Amino acid sequence: MSVQANESQVKFYHENGYFLPKQQLFSQEKMSLLNQIFEEQLAAKGSKLSDELDTPHFRDERLLEFLLSKEVLDLVEPFIGPNIGLFSSHFICKDPYVGRATPWHEDSAYWKGRADHFDYITTVWLALDRSNQENGCMRVIPGTHKNGFSEYEAVDSQVHTFGSQIKNVDESQAVSFVLEPGQCSLHDSRIIHGAEANNSPYRRCGYTMRYFSTDIKITSLDVNGDPFKIWLARGENLAGNHFVNV
């Protein structure tokens, strides 16, 4: 049975910018396959760091079985509507002791010029490993998805996954996303979030699956000259986007 949010949970998400369903998203069989695909991607990464495995579904189309599945689309639909585009996915793995911190940021701040608005973009963060405060779980600042773009300052990209962070974040308001393997979280693309470094002996790996309402026009698809592919996951192509499967 698919995980589906009720009316009060959808209201909480729109007010706070996140939702934590405490249920398994996929079957154990599907999770085993997803873990296998991740381990293959990890083995093939070469000199890349484990937190740099972006858009793995471009390289392995087996991941589309997860990204376009009924389980995840049924979860996402109450939050962004029935017309859903697949925007991206990313394996984010913080290795024991050396996993870099993720500075406070808004996902949408990195997409300026790539979409005409950011009102209905959500990320599903699926835990492959246990994720908690000890190994650097994700944290969010509730309600900050309503604030618009924040002011950023430079940080050391050797010890952070990005080279900039939001200034003057009140960390006392942070909510930690503690997840067991197979559980997931959802967060609005505009919410302020980040994660501490992993200084523990326990790996922390997640798979992010990102979706948008198709009334959003994706206006720029090339990244460093390489084509960036998006899929129509469910419903209608309202804004006339260039989906690879349309």
pLDDT single digits (tens) 195-241? 999 999 999 999 999 999 999 999 866 655 667 899 999 999 999 99
pLDDT of residue 209: 98
Among 100, 39, 86, 119, which residue's Cα sits nearest to residue 210? 86
β-strand partners of 207: 91, 126
Give the pLDDT mean for 26-49. 89
Asked whether 232 and 87 are in contact (CB, 8 A), the reply is no
Length of the chain (residues): 246
Among 203, 102, 218, which residue's Cα sits nearest to residue 157? 102
| CA dist., res. 61 & res. 35, Å (int) | 15
Q: Indicate whether 157 pLDDT > 90.
A: no
| CA dist., res. 100 & res. 86, Å (int) | 27
Confidence of residue 246 (pLDDT cuts 50, 70, 90): confident
153-157, 163-167, 233-237 — most confident range: 233-237
CA distances from 19 to 55, 140, 141, 238 (A): 23, 11, 13, 26
pLDDT of residue 224: 59
Q: Which comes out higher in pLDDT, residue 165 or 233?
A: 233
Q: What residues does each domain of the chain span?
A: 7-234
Least confident window among 36-45, 131-140, 192-201 = 36-45
CATH of 7-234, one of 3.90.870.40, 2.60.120.1140, 2.60.120.620, 1.10.3720.10: 2.60.120.620
Give the pLDDT mean for 20-32. 96
pLDDT of residue 212: 98
70-80 vs 7-16: helix crossing angle, rounded to 10: 70
β-strand partners of 131: 179
β-strand partners of 86: 211, 231
Confidence of residue 114 (pLDDT cuts 50, 70, 90): confident
